[in-house]
Amino acid sequence: MKPLLKTTAFTSTLLSAAIFGFFYAWVSSTMWGLDQIDPETAIAAMQGMNASVRNAVFGLIFFGTAPALLITSGIAAALMLKKLAIIFAVSGMIYLFGGAVLTFTINVPMNEQLALVKLPLASEEALKIWQDYSSEWQFWNQTRTVFSGLACLIAFYGLYVLGQINARKA
């Protein structure tokens, strides 16, 4: 079971890093870029991105991260590695609630509302819709990015602890 633990620890940490990177990219460039263009174009672009993100590549990292971290925790617990089990469980729960649940309860409903906006719009109306959407969406995206980053850091700490355990046994 120890090779399985190494595999799941690496995989869950990789997934954690991928989802953190995905959310971070929205913080550091995508939304800022959309805020710089015509609001109607920004709305259309965001509608397109929200529709296209529902794919297997994104789904794997979004839906797979929490279960992978929690499975890693379970395997560590079965091997009586309590500290490691706690580390991966904490990481999994932080991502689950601060990343996945937050996304489903806030960002997804906002995206669904934006999807209902019919284009073209009057300039003033597009500006109001975009400003209202973008500022709130960015706040919640930054929040899930922080939680996902924290989960990622904790998972990397778990890899470090696993390395220390393996070094002591070598």
The CA-to-CA distance between both ends of the chain, in Å, stands at 17
Distance CA 19, CA 86 (A): 21
Q: How far apart are CA 144 and CA 79, in angstroms?
A: 32
Overall domain count for the chain: 1
The 10s digit of each residue's pLDDT in 51-84 is 999 999 999 999 999 999 999 999 999 999 999 9
pTM for the whole thing?
Answer: 0.95
Distance CA 60, CA 57 (A): 6
Decide if 42 contacts 61 (C-beta within 8 A): no
CA distance 163 to 67: 22
What H or E segment, with its residue span, contains residue 131? helix 123-169
φ/ψ of residue 2, rounded to 5: -65, -40
Q: What is the pLDDT of residues 108-145, one digit of tens each?
A: 999 999 999 999 999 999 999 999 999 999 999 999 99
Supply the range of the domain harboring residue 9. Answer: 2-169
**What token pair was written down for 169?**
């046994």
98: its two tokens: 């601060």
User: Which tens digit of pLDDT belongs to each residue from 97-107?
Assistant: 999 999 999 99
d(CA 82, CA 78): 9
**For residue 99, which of 67, 123, 121, 77 has the smallest C-alpha distance?**
67
